[in-house]
Structure 1
Amino acid sequence: MVFSCGKYFKMVRNYKRKTQSNVDESKMKKAIADVLNGVETPTSASKKYNLKRQTIESRVKKHGHKNVDAIYQSKFTWKQVFTIKEEAELVDYVKKCCYYQYGLSYKNFQKLAYQYAVANGKEFPENWNVNNEAGIDWLHSFMKRNPSLSLRKPEKTSLARLTGFSKKAVDEFYSNLRNLYEKYSFQSNDIYNLDETGITTVVESPKIIAPKGQRQVGQAVSAERGSLVSLVGIINASGNRLPPAFVFPRVRYNPQFLNGCVTGSLGLVSKSGWMMSELFIDVLKHIQNNTKCSKENPILLLLDNHSSHCSINSINYSRENGIHLLSFPPHTSHRLQPLDVSVYGPFKKFVQTSFYDFMTNNPGKRITIYEVAQLTNLPFQRAFKSENIISGFQSTGIYPFNSQNFSEDDFCLAAETNEDALTEPVPLQPDNIVNTSITDPLEPNNSTNVPVSLTPEQIRPISRLNASKITAKTGCSRILTSSCEKKRLEEKAAGINTQSAKRNIQFSGKENIPKNKSKKNKRKKVQPKTRKHKSLVRMQIDSSDESNMSVEYADTDQSVGSFVDGEETSEAVNFSSHEFTDDFELNVGDFVLTLPAQTCKKKVYYVAEIIETLSECTFTASFLRKLDVLQPIFVKPENKDISLVLKSEILFKLPNPVNPASTSRCRTKYIFETDLGGFNIK
């Protein structure tokens, strides 16, 4: 159905023709020629050539006395705003913008089409002038006429990645990979890839069916913001995978974290849930236990340049156990890393579905870090398939080895530099319009000159990156286990330690600097220390006499004293009764002060009771909670906090506590007759 809109026609978007139009174009040309030359009338020509009279009249009226050799494909193409060549220029412009990672949305393209029509002096509907953009009906028709374009949701790509994937960096990676292949003759089952990915307890909800017209559609999730758990995936070029490793955001490890996980998974803990240098050694041990690699049977491990992968201890362990570490160039893992290319994409989609099904089947129940390992079990089995893994190694050119895997066009974006990172549109001027001769398939082939105005790129210059203005991480692909690389990292670590020592010397000499007698330097009244006090920075222990110890503060030059009725005495803390030795014996029922592995600068100590001895260095302990800030009064929580404790985490053994038995409530309290004021105990 066609609606009249002024002198333009508006057709429904999804119009389907009900009749078949099979016009013999050769007969139509002869009929139009006879009518134009006055030999026949439209009626006689229709009878002579067995054509419809209305069709002959329409084409004669449409093209007048123009060349009859033109091919007329549509009755209404003459009402299009742009010609086929002009639409082709728009299509090329849109594709070029997408190539430079600055694609156009529907709104931007409608405004561009309006500016393009104004610059070319085209006739267009009046509503274009009202909104200063092309109409939505024209946009949908344009997309149908050009099926090579489609509306896509782009993947977020950082500026560093856009410029980091350069030919120089990729060639250097392939050169290092070729050298390792030639030296050690690695097979497909000896080539591994390792990478971490984050899993939050709150994922993006999938699309659901909802009532039409409803403004807001909600979906239940566990919380506003979820907790992060890192998953370490390990695959090899033969299509196999190793059990994953999980890094949970906790200080102490709980075996319940791995309930329902993939068989053989490794559980680790860190304060933030991110991979740390100390934890990466455990991952390397996990790999060595599953692959049985050694110096006689080495393997190749491909990973990124994250700082946790490049520690001296990790490199020493890898060299001792036949693990050769090769890093990807910075900001290239989205194209070179098999896990990122073909595995983690489907894995994240399956995780989203798994979390959604759990929330649907368990109304009112939240997803915590205790359910992450179980809910990622099935997605891991489905995403880490042999087909996906082998495809990832092939598409990146790692195995089978293909150093020409990427063409020159893949590096053009990183190679191009432009002084104007984002150029502004140039003003439209009549001098920019050039007169030339063009030929359009919809229009007759004649010799008249048709004015051609600005192209889309002249109206709206394409936004290009200025690589010199992007501050990206510098680096390259490195063989981390090589001798020269190990020496470089050792020198770098030595330089950091030297700078840290200088800062400590300056800090230690701070008390010798005379203070100005001003109002700002007047000492304020000392308040009782609380849990939120953040001035404790370090503890110095004299190696010659471990019993003499003082705690220094960053903002004062006095040692910590004891607290009596909210006032601080000048008497320093006496730790002579504490056993700072590694040879003390622990039995069931002993109380100890522990310092678990932590990532924050402020150390937090815990009091625990030994309830089981697993080995000489491993114990099971029940942790207590501190009730009073000023006095060492502790209590066992209702939900027992039981975890493993290493002997290296135990500072000293506490004396037996005093249990006031005046009331039944006091029998659950423990008071230690020792001064623990210098420790931040929770």
Structure 2
Amino acid sequence: MPKVKPGGSVSPGVRRYGTKSRYTTEELERILSDIKCGKISQREASKLYNIPRNTLRNKLLGQHNKKVGRPTIFSKEEELFFIQHILYLSDEGIPISLFDVRCVVKCYLDTQNRKVQQFKGNMPGWDWSQSFLERHKAALKQRLETNISRRRAQVNEETLNEFFNNFEGEVSEVSACNIYNYDETGFHDNPSRRKLLFRRSCRHPERIRNSTKSCYTVVFCGSADGNFIPPYVIMKGTQKWSDWVYGAPEGTRLNTSKSGWIDNKVFDDWFEYHFLPIAKTKPGKIILIGDNMSAHLSIYTLKLAAENDVRLLFFPPNSTHLLQPLDVAYFSSLKTYWRQVLSSWRETKGGKKVVALPKAVFCQLLKATLEKGQETGCNNLRKGFECSGLNPVNRDKVLQKLPMYARTTDEVREDVGNEFRKYIESVRTNDLSAVHRARKFCLPVRAGKSVSVEEVEAYYANKETEEKQKMTSKGRGGARTRGGRLKSSSVRTQGGRLQSRNDSCSL
């Protein structure tokens, strides 16, 4: 081991193994140029830049110009071959790890009938992979992956171009204040995790604080000029109580559903009693755009929209991470503020006692969250519309975000090596370019195009006919309730009153 002085420097005459040179190639060339021009002597340069004088002399005489260290196992052309195909796999959305590279290299050596003594069983070791990565750090770098579903990966350039072709015709001559985007999001009872101090030997760092998996749904809606309409809160249950909206943001409306998430009945109520009163105050055509979800498509809502000059548009399936302004630029910061507010409340006396977040407290915390992000919320919404290419309309803003495998490209290049080709076929399935329409998205909707009532009615009529034919072929009758009567869409409350679709409370 080298002897280290109290100041931290290594004793002279002791070689520091495993360290790199204190100078770069560019710095050495500049120093040699100064010596040749007579600006500085070899001795002065050696002391000033801490470079051995023999090194300077050898470089000036043109000696020892070869690369330092043992020669690489593979030639420069072979390593360039590996780099090209590693980058190709990364562009295709199927990146590989260093271990995968070692396996491919072993197969390559076995195919060439080459035996490398430095590799045990022709399998490159961990040291070789690190050296390989260091030699090509300008082209390669290890990064943490972000997994996306195959359906989301199927969103390609053709899909987005079709959406924008329809969208441009719908929003022409429509002002920014009349273009709205809506979406629902969940607020979980799970405070943020922080790095805290624990005993070094602690294997399971824990903190005593209540948290549950409960979640409250809130529908947000805002225009392209950065103005929000009040939130719409959805809670799980059948009854509604006035204290649930106590301390809520002004104009908040509350509704319930059996699942706690949005459904057709809740969406109809939101559109008719929460969105339309605000939309009627705006002159001209209104554009309301949201994600392609069956709960957002209702004949009742479409009739109301047609009567009030509101056009409902939908994004392509699995494309909200690229096109939905609320997802792109607003929800992330809002959830950060929510976790901060929830964490602070959990430190209070009331927050320590209860296990689950009470419904009567949620709206108060929601108000504190919105006030915390009020300064940046409107600007984030405007930026969301801009980054999504919706206002002003600019499809290039979205197309440039697509990864290489989602863009219009040719077939697999001819120079792809056989071993990498085998790797693609055996380990991964290269079918990301094949777009399969999922069942739940078989709605009469064209992305970026408004929907008419007649199209939806015809769709549901055909669907009902097909279901009856299937039941008839099985020899069964239609679904019946007890007593042979059809179930009513209304829900009878404890007081005997029927609770209809329009029965929701607001603040």
Shorter chain as denominator, the TM-score bin is: 0.7 to 0.9
- The answer to whether the 8 Å contact 1:276/1:308 transfers is yes
Q: Does 1:477 align with 2:446?
A: yes
Q: Does 1:195 align with 2:183?
A: yes
- Residues 17, 168 of structure 1: CA spacing in aligned structure 2 closer, same or farther, 3 A cutoff? closer
Bigger shift: 347-356 or 89-98? 89-98
Q: Secondary structure at the match of 1:466?
A: coil
* 472, 480, 484: which one aligns with 1:540: 484
Q: Which amino acid aligns with 2:54?
A: Q
Cα deviation code 1:323-372 (max 9, x no counterpart): 21111112222111111211222233333343334334443532325144
CA positional deviation for 1:243: 1.6
Matched with 1:308 is 295
- The answer to whether the 8 Å contact 1:160/1:472 transfers is no
Identity %: 18
- Residues 212, 418 of structure 1: CA spacing in aligned structure 2 closer, same or farther, 3 A cutoff? farther
Q: Secondary structure at the match of 2:483?
A: strand
Question: Residues 218-367 of structure 1: matches in 2 within 5 Å?
Answer: 218-220=206-208, 222=210, 226-285=213-272, 286-293=274-281, 297-361=284-348, 362-367=351-356
- Residues 509, 84 of structure 1: CA spacing in aligned structure 2 closer, same or farther, 3 A cutoff? closer
- The answer to whether the 8 Å contact 2:186/2:218 transfers is yes
CA positional deviation for 1:307: 0.8
- Normalized against structure 2, the TM-score is what? 0.72
Q: State the alpha-carbon separation in 1 of the partners of residues 243 and 192 from structure 2.
A: 26
CA positional deviation for 1:280: 0.7
Q: Secondary structure at the match of 1:194?
A: strand
- Residues 647, 193 of structure 1: CA spacing in aligned structure 2 closer, same or farther, 3 A cutoff? closer
* 382, 390, 397: which one aligns with 1:398: 390
Q: State the alpha-carbon separation in 2 of the partners of residues 504 and 123 from structure 1.
A: 67
Matched with 1:38 is none
Matched with 1:385 is 377
Q: Which amino acid aligns with 1:249?
A: K
Cα deviation code 1:6-39 (max 9, x no counterpart): xxx9626xx7949997563459999xxxxxxxxx
- The answer to whether the 8 Å contact 1:247/1:274 transfers is yes
Q: Which amino acid aligns with 2:187?
A: I
CA positional deviation for 1:226: 1.2
Q: Which amino acid aligns with 1:366?
A: V
Matched with 2:204 is 216
Q: Does 1:493 align with 2:493?
A: no
More helix by share: 2
Q: Secondary structure at the match of 2:363?
A: helix
Q: Which amino acid aligns with 1:201?
A: D
More strand by share: 1
CA positional deviation for 1:204: 6.6
Matched with 2:150 is 159
Matched with 1:54 is 54
Q: State the alpha-carbon separation in 1 of the partners of residues 103 and 257 from structure 2.
A: 51
Pairwise CA RMSD: 5.1
Q: Secondary structure at the match of 2:152?
A: helix
- Residues 220, 105 of structure 1: CA spacing in aligned structure 2 closer, same or farther, 3 A cutoff? farther
- Normalized against structure 1, the TM-score is what? 0.56
Q: Secondary structure at the match of 2:266?
A: helix
* 158, 167, 171: which one aligns with 1:168: 158
Cα deviation code 1:543-574 (max 9, x no counterpart): xxxxxxxx9xxxxxxxxxxxxxxxxxxxxxxx
Q: State the alpha-carbon separation in 2 of the partners of residues 345 and 89 from structure 1.
A: 41
Q: Secondary structure at the match of 1:375?
A: helix
CA positional deviation for 1:380: 3.7
Q: State the alpha-carbon separation in 1 of the partners of residues 341 and 80 from structure 2.
A: 45
Q: Which has the higher contact order (CA 8 A, sep 6+)?
A: 2
Bigger shift: 385-394 or 251-260? 251-260
CA positional deviation for 1:58: 7.2
Bigger shift: 264-273 or 150-159? 150-159
- The answer to whether the 8 Å contact 2:164/2:448 transfers is no
Q: Which amino acid aligns with 1:173?
A: F
Cα deviation code 1:46-72 (max 9, x no counterpart): 7899895532687799976xxx6x7x7
Whose Rg is larger? 1
- Residues 409, 181 of structure 1: CA spacing in aligned structure 2 closer, same or farther, 3 A cutoff? closer
* 172, 181, 200: which one aligns with 2:171: 181
Q: Which amino acid aligns with 2:457?
A: E
Matched with 1:466 is 431
Q: Secondary structure at the match of 1:539?
A: coil
Q: Which amino acid aligns with 2:137?
A: N
Q: State the alpha-carbon separation in 2 of the partners of residues 337 and 133 from structure 1.
A: 46
- Residues 91, 479 of structure 1: CA spacing in aligned structure 2 closer, same or farther, 3 A cutoff? closer
Q: Secondary structure at the match of 2:482?
A: strand
Bigger shift: 498-507 or 95-104? 498-507
- Residues 60, 162 of structure 1: CA spacing in aligned structure 2 closer, same or farther, 3 A cutoff? same
Count, aligned residues:
468
Q: Secondary structure at the match of 2:303?
A: helix
Cα deviation code 1:219-241 (max 9, x no counterpart): 45645x61332221212111122
Q: Secondary structure at the match of 2:249?
A: coil
Q: Secondary structure at the match of 2:205?
A: coil
Q: State the alpha-carbon separation in 2 of the partners of residues 218 and 137 from structure 1.
A: 39
Q: Secondary structure at the match of 2:352?
A: coil
Q: State the alpha-carbon separation in 2 of the partners of residues 47 and 274 from structure 1.
A: 78
CA positional deviation for 1:188: 1.0
Unaligned stretches of 5+ in structure 2?
A: 4-15
Matched with 1:374 is 364
Q: State the alpha-carbon separation in 2 of the partners of residues 29 and 123 from structure 1.
A: 47
